[in-house]
Amino acid sequence: MPTPSTNRLALSYELFPPRSMAAGNLWTTIRELESTAPDYVSVTYGANGGNHDTALTLLSELVGRTTLRPLAHLTCVGGTRNSLRRTVTDLLDLGVRGVLALRGDIPDGYVPPDGAVDHAVDLIELIRDVERGNAAQLAAGRIAVGAAAYPTRHPESATWQQDIEVLAAKQAAGADFAITQVFFDASRYAALVRRARDAGVTIPIIPGILPMTSLRRVRTLARLAGIDPPARLCRRLAHAGSEADARRIGVDATVGLLRAALDVGAPGLHLYTFNQHSSALAVLDALNLPARNGAPTESEIA
Ligand code: FAD
């Protein structure tokens, strides 16, 4: 878990923990996503641990009620070494075996607590340390640890070289794979992968893709990522005559982006769903992936 070791494309989705497990059509979404046999489904985690309990509840439901493999996002900002060790142990107790190790965005006026864990790379080391302490529970298994990567420079990084050095440090600390921040231009993804490979980064770098069917979401995610939204697409979405038109425009644009990423060697795709399956599945249908017939076998899972 979670990237197949064969050349079969990895598929994953991102969910966020709703306030209530009965929210809207969460379970319809989960079941629809499950029917596509993804390699894993990730669950976001608020910076500062804002949604700690709801995230763990959703993860526990995914483990207990579905065949899905959950990947728990975990942010270290606001946490301490002790609190983060406890959370990783709690995740293991729930049966979670995949963690996406992140720093989280720094809130305004943030004062790190005593024992703070400053960066994702430190969190990866901490997770590997907890893993060593729980070797008996994990038996022969291990925790699949993922990290963030940035096709467009992280807003706090002085240069793209810094991003690549940090990604290499994440690999050295024990990251098994990376998922990218959202991007709207496949040449950015291609450049990230090329630079990472030149710097000795060998882990899979999976493109994080937003189904671009909603103008509001495109703008929101671009703002959160600190990048410009795609102007031409935004204009087309703004002038779409109906929701169906917007969906067609957005699905076409997303498929174009994904094909371009796959053409430059993307090992899979990670779809940001906003807890709605329809756009994600429309993208998958239109993409018509050849090798996604059924769940991966155990031997395919690294
Ligand atoms: P870091 O790797 O710590 O990097 C942050 C900044 O510090 C960068 O500028 C980096 O160059 C610099 N840096 C890193 N290490 C060092 C070091 N040792 N010394 C000096 N500088 C250093 N946020 C959430 O709150 N919840 C989520 O669930 C979530 N999910 C995400 C999923 C994906 C796939 C991605 C790409 C991002 C996600 N984020 C999430 C956003 C993420 O938390 C932010 O992008 C955050 O600002 C940086 O996180 P990071 O893990 O890359 O941090």
pLDDT in tens, 120-148: 999 999 999 999 998 888 877 899 999 99
Q: Taking residues 191-218, what's their average pLDDT?
A: 97
pLDDT in tens, 243-267: 999 999 999 999 999 999 999 999 9
Helix (H) / strand (E) containing 222: helix 215-225
Query: 1 C-alpha to center of ligand 1: Å?
Result: 22
The one catalytic residue in 14, 34, 61, 125 is: 14
Please say if 14 is a catalytic residue: yes
Is the shortest distance between the CB of 122 and ligand 1 below 6 Å?
A: no
Smallest CA-to-CA distance from 105 within 192, 229, 204, 223 is with: 223
pTM for the predicted model, two decimal places: 0.94
Query: 35 C-alpha to center of ligand 1: Å?
Result: 31
Type of residue numbered 234:
C
Strand ranges (E), the chain: 10-15, 40-43, 70-75, 98-102, 144-149, 177-180, 205-206, 208-209, 268-272
The pLDDT of residue 122 is: 98
Q: How far apart are CA 15 and CA 200, in angstroms?
A: 31
The pLDDT of residue 291 is: 55
Q: What interface predicted TM-score (ipTM) does this complex get?
A: 0.99
Q: How far apart are CA 20 and CA 108, in angstroms?
A: 28
CB atoms near residue 25 (< 10 Å) = 13
**pLDDT above 80 for 29:** yes
Please name each of the domains of the chain with its CATH number.
Answer: 10-301 (3.20.20.220)
Find out whether 286 and 252 touch, Cβ atoms under 8 Å.
yes
Q: Which of 103, 164, 165 to mutate to test the pocket of ligand 1 (most atoms within 8 A of CB)?
A: 103
